[in-house]
Structure 1
Amino acid sequence: MGTNVITQDASISGSDDRRQKFNDPGIILGTPGAKLERLHRPKKPKVLRGLAKYLKPNIWHMVLCLLFALINSVLELYIPILSGRAIDCIVGVNNVNFTLLKTTILYLAIVAVGFCFFRWLYIYADNILSFKTDRLVRIGLFKKLNRVPLKYIDGSSHGDLQSRMINDVDVISDGFLEGMTTIFDASISIVLTIVMMFRLNVSISAVIVALTPLSVFVTAFIAFKADKYFRRQAKTLGDASGIILEMLGNQRIVKAFNYEDRSIEKFEKINKNLAEQSEKAMFYSSLTNPFSRFINGIIYAIVAIMGTLTAIKGNMTIGNISVLLNYANKYIKPFNEISDIFSDLQASYASARRVVNVLDIDDEVSDADNEVLTKCNGDVEIKNVNFSYVPNKKLIENLNVSVKKGQRVAIVGPTGCGKSTMINLLMRFYDVNSGEILVSEKPITQITRASLREKYGMVLQDTWLFNATIRENLKYGKPTASDAEMIKAAKMAHAHDYIQSLENGYDTMVSEGGDNLSQGQKQLICIARIMLTKPPMLILDEATSNIDTRTELLIQNAFNTMMEGRTSFVVAHRLSTIINSDLILVMNKGNIIEQGTHKELLKKQGFYYNLYNSQFSKI
């Protein structure tokens, strides 16, 4: 059985103070204009090292790719030699060595076919390497997001995280991986070309090698200028993804408040910024190719002139001049190829840095050596607990609560008083700053998170259903449950009748977010799901808030049956739902200011008395 959590996010929405800002372009947390607190400063990402472990499983594809590149380069450089020999076979009119010419052309054809074949193998291996590495990086990101402390998920822009997992990984594949293999291929060509050129003519080759750094210098200078704009471009793309996800997921709210024009204006502002950063990045990167080609053209012209003068003196054959000119062009070509992909490399490096920054976030503290909570009697004790989302703003101070097996504990108080935060701490979504929480007399920091959370069943105000059948949604917390058990739970939650009235019954597909069901229907499925798991402890956070009054009475009766003998924590705003609780905790500003039964608290005529009467006073 997995964690019995029924909520839209993995944690309970609480104070906005958990919002934070990573030291990383792209992860923007909180709302615009709000004061953002920094809870974590990620380590400076080692981009290449961070990606290397995802390349390692595909090392043989990498080796094959590099091997094919090497063979491809050797064959490519052998073609000009054969062409030069063929030219030298044609000395003049009636002075052609046809026998040698035919043999040379045959070899030339074989080498050309071999070059094309190994070129295809090189590209194929490169693509396979990219696709497989893409898959591993995305799996790594997904696993990382399931291992990091929940505060990072709560505090991050979900659209930006999605952009990193999809867009940025694609950019890494398109630019970084293909770029690295291209650079290797180009480097081999450069080294082999230098060797072959110096064998033909030392002085001309020295001129080529001496002038080429000008092209490299220009490329590096322009790349330095463009880098900051590529980083801004990647960050802004993440912001754009965030607002798109936010607006699409909340269209009803957008339309209800006539926010369409403002949302369009907000998106246009981000999109305009994206266009500006992209334009600046591409402006600088587009300068690389023409500048490098201009310099390389000058080098080619110098080689042609020097080769012609050398041939006039009789120190070089026409065929060798042809070979040298081909090599000069091929020596320049790899630098052109590198300049062509430099903009892609810059964009991919910016994306790789964003991806590695997520992969570099520290995991939750391992609980592998902790005890597995196999038996739970339902006793919960909170001792001297202090907690805050940010260090300089206290929330819960010196909290002490003792709950015995089977007690029904209600938690009430104004918004932001710490009710939901207390549940976050009970489930160990967040760890306390000081003090301790014990379940069955065992500190929860000494218990595995999984075994602790499976002892709780949670039904929250915000429903969460995934895109699958109702049957699969109901069995989410207990995949091994029989259909009979599932139907029994649905009947207890009073969901069976309406499910049966649907065209496909329990096999009805739930759309993304459950938009094809009413809010009340979704809530009933969530309640039935938790009834199926039968955990020893329950957490109910306004679990019946979205259900009509008649159904609420039925559900309350079902809850009373389910809570019998189980420790239950009920967060409530409607105080009429918790008057039968064994203990009511009244919270305000992170402290328990009153506690007792409903009657005892009314007799005190304190904070709870005023809160209760305010809900039933005449308007």
Structure 2
Amino acid sequence: MTGVRAGDGGRQRDHGFAATARRLLRLVRVHRAFSAMLALGLASITLNIISPILLGRATDLVLAGVLGRANASSATKADVLTQLRVQGHETLATMAGAVDFTPGHGIDMAALISTLLTALLVSALSGVCWMAQGRQATAAIQHAGSRLRAEVEAKLSRLPLTRFDATKRGDLLSRAVNDVDNVVVALQQTMSQLSNSVLLLVGLLTIMFAITPLLAVIAVLVVPVAVVVTTLLGKRAQPDFDRLWAAVGDLTEHVEETYTGHALVTAYDRREPALAEFRERNEAVFRAGYRAQFVSGLSQPSMNFVNNLGYVFVAVVGCLRVASGGLTIGELQAFVQYSRQLSGPLTQVTGLAGVVQSGMASARRVFELLDADEEPTEAEHDRLPGRVAGLVRFESVHFGYDGTPLIEGLSLTARPGRTVAIVGHTGAGKTTLVNLLMRFYDVSGGRITVDGVDTATVPRSDVRANIGMVLQDSWLFAGTIADNIGYGRADATREEIEAAAQAAHADHFVRTLPQGYDTVLGDDGAGVSAGERQLITIARAFLADPPILVLDEATSSVDTRTELLVRRGIGQLSTGRTCFVIAHRLSTIRDADTIVVMSGGAIVESGTHDELLSADGPYAALYRAQFARTGSDAGLSPGIEGV
């Protein structure tokens, strides 16, 4: 099988914590609301830092008024300080010397009211900026989430079939839904808070060093301790979050499988084993989640302890500085407020550690999906015409799965207007042949041509636009029957949809339903029988009106009478078209122009039904095995079934 290129052009992507965080940041900052969020956050923090200075100024005004009123107006400030020292109050004189008071004058009410009103206005503006920032952060994050979902959806459409064959469907669903949602929730809870914490930390350190470098250095000593504590606990918790979301993927896979196969689980009385397996996987989610949240939850109490130690040292040294006249009481008050605020960003960061690590674990899983290998790059040297004649040739085709050869040197020609039936034992390579024609896989040797054009040299969309396909497992989506049939051609009219249903002999049963073609089907076609679902998918293929038609066990889910009707419809549709029919009911391919018998990835016999019976070869053996006991289409005997 041909190689595939990596999703990023072949370069191995880094999915470590730092690299994942940078990718998330790039995803968010492309939206203009991100810049507005940062600007509003900066404004809110600046105003928030100014507020303690104003409150400290108000405290000094009150203290100055008290000192001024306690002394006669005839004395000067120097006289008051001298008298205090004479009376032995050296410390009090030093503290009073730092205050700008005038003996005989009380509190300057005008200045006090002005200062307090300014502080109130600053606080209000800070709150408004904070709310506006939250709005912008929400816009940026939700836009990033929308882009991430769109990228995941587009990526799923570019993944090769081998990815879906090798990966559990529940795990893919969990990455595309649960993990993306968890990333968005984590961003919503942390983005604005983390950016504000960084900006606030820088602003607080700046103003604290401006007030008193000594106390600022004491307060800053908390920061490296906080970083060490957060880093150590984060490293311990991150693997547990990785295991948590992997376990969620496993649980989703089990629930999806059990729900899809609910009828079989009930029929085989496997509800208790299924429930037991659910409990086991649910317990794995619990254990991983408990350990991850417990370890990450240790960050906040640890940080509170470290911050309180720093606060005590600041308070003690600050009081000594006030006593020595190096600070006013108002300046100490402001600095203590800043010191408490300094612990806020650190506490917030550690408090969000669990959310961040959970989001990063999900982001890593999403980015691993986005970086997965895609379908091989198409060498678009040629283009198929809008509608081909339908001449299909397999020329010495070689193919294998994971290095194991399956098809070697196969050659086959299907001419326009002819029906080629492909039969054989399980694993003979019948469905693989069709997958190669559809370019779900690319050949590793030889080539497949349509109207003489090598399909490997044209876009896959050109090939698939000319091929209609009906699979053994019918696929319907939640919607009306008309919508499901119309999926075959987007511009189809209602009359064309009904005509396609008539050709597929689905019109009669559709009209017996209460709303007819407007009957709404549930997920995966719930509401109609398996045979009726198959008829709807056949009608969809009729509507597409392709020049090449592939029927992979298309009649396996219909009864014998309906099978006869479908065969007549297929006979009408096949006129002028190239048809490939894979069937285990040999009665459905008796009238095929050519019947190809495959075994071990090679064609061992070909011819018409009568010719192959006369040859008394592998086809005759299959035919006898199927009909010998009943003389009618009784189904395959053990060991002979469709792929």
- TM-score of the two chains, using structure 2 as the length reference: 0.87
CA contact (8 A) 1:160 1:242 kept: yes
Partner residue in 2 for 1:55: 28
Distance 1:430 1:369 in 2: 19
Partner residue in 2 for 1:618: 629
Matching of residues 118-129 of structure 1 within 5 Å: 118-129=129-140
- Residues 211, 493 of structure 1: alpha-carbon distance in 2 compared, 3 angstrom cutoff: closer
CA contact (8 A) 2:384 2:453 kept: no
The 3-state SS of whatever aligns with 1:378 is coil
Give % identity.
34
Matching of residues 49-88 of structure 1 within 5 Å: 50-51=23-24, 54-58=27-31, 60-88=32-60
CA contact (8 A) 2:424 2:430 kept: yes
368, 385, 394: which one pairs with 1:373?
385
Residue 75 of structure 1 and its aligned partner are, at CA, apart by 0.8
Residue 369 of structure 1 and its aligned partner are, at CA, apart by 5.7
Residue 184 of structure 1 and its aligned partner are, at CA, apart by 2.1
Distance 1:42 1:152 in 2: 17
Partner residue in 1 for 2:77: none
Between 349-358 and 294-303, report the one with greater CA deviation: 349-358
Matching of residues 192-271 of structure 1 within 5 Å: 192-271=203-282
Distance 1:42 1:589 in 2: 37
Matching of residues 174-573 of structure 1 within 5 Å: 174-176=185-187, 178-364=189-375, 365-366=377-378, 370-391=382-403, 393-573=404-584
Residue 171 of structure 1 and its aligned partner are, at CA, apart by 1.8
Distance 1:113 1:429 in 2: 62
Distance 2:345 2:531 in 1: 65
**How many pairs does the alignment contain?**
583
Q: Unaligned regions of 5+ residues in structure 2, if any?
A: 70-105, 631-643
Runs ≥4 residues deviating over 3 A? 40-46, 48-54, 366-370
CA contact (8 A) 2:550 2:580 kept: yes
Between 179-188 and 78-87, report the one with greater CA deviation: 179-188
Residue 165 of structure 1 and its aligned partner are, at CA, apart by 2.1
- TM-score of the two chains, using structure 1 as the length reference: 0.90
1:40-64 deviations in Å (ceiling 9; x for gaps): 9964344245445533541x10001
Residue 65 of structure 1 and its aligned partner are, at CA, apart by 0.5
Residue 217 of structure 1 and its aligned partner are, at CA, apart by 0.6
- Residues 617, 162 of structure 1: alpha-carbon distance in 2 compared, 3 angstrom cutoff: same
Distance 2:225 2:522 in 1: 59
CA contact (8 A) 2:408 2:602 kept: yes
CA contact (8 A) 1:126 1:178 kept: no
Distance 1:316 1:49 in 2: 43
The 3-state SS of whatever aligns with 1:546 is coil
Distance 2:122 2:407 in 1: 77
Distance 1:491 1:564 in 2: 17
Partner residue in 2 for 1:105: 116
Distance 1:154 1:389 in 2: 11
Between 164-173 and 243-252, report the one with greater CA deviation: 164-173
Distance 1:432 1:333 in 2: 61
Residue 96 of structure 1 and its aligned partner are, at CA, apart by 2.5
Distance 2:236 2:229 in 1: 11
- Residues 310, 278 of structure 1: alpha-carbon distance in 2 compared, 3 angstrom cutoff: same
85, 89, 101: which one pairs with 2:61?
89
Larger radius of gyration: 2
Distance 1:544 1:324 in 2: 82
Indicate the RMSD between aligned Cα atoms, in angstroms: 2.2
CA contact (8 A) 1:373 1:447 kept: no
Distance 1:230 1:343 in 2: 9
Distance 2:379 2:523 in 1: 33
Partner residue in 2 for 1:7: none
Distance 2:239 2:114 in 1: 55
Amino acid at match of 1:124: R
Distance 2:409 2:355 in 1: 55
Residue 342 of structure 1 and its aligned partner are, at CA, apart by 1.3
CA contact (8 A) 1:367 1:449 kept: no
1:537-558 deviations in Å (ceiling 9; x for gaps): 1111121121121121122112
Amino acid at match of 2:604: I
Partner residue in 2 for 1:32: none
Residue 368 of structure 1 and its aligned partner are, at CA, apart by 5.7
Residue 269 of structure 1 and its aligned partner are, at CA, apart by 0.8
Partner residue in 1 for 2:164: 153
The 3-state SS of whatever aligns with 2:521 is coil
- Residues 522, 446 of structure 1: alpha-carbon distance in 2 compared, 3 angstrom cutoff: same
CA contact (8 A) 2:29 2:35 kept: no
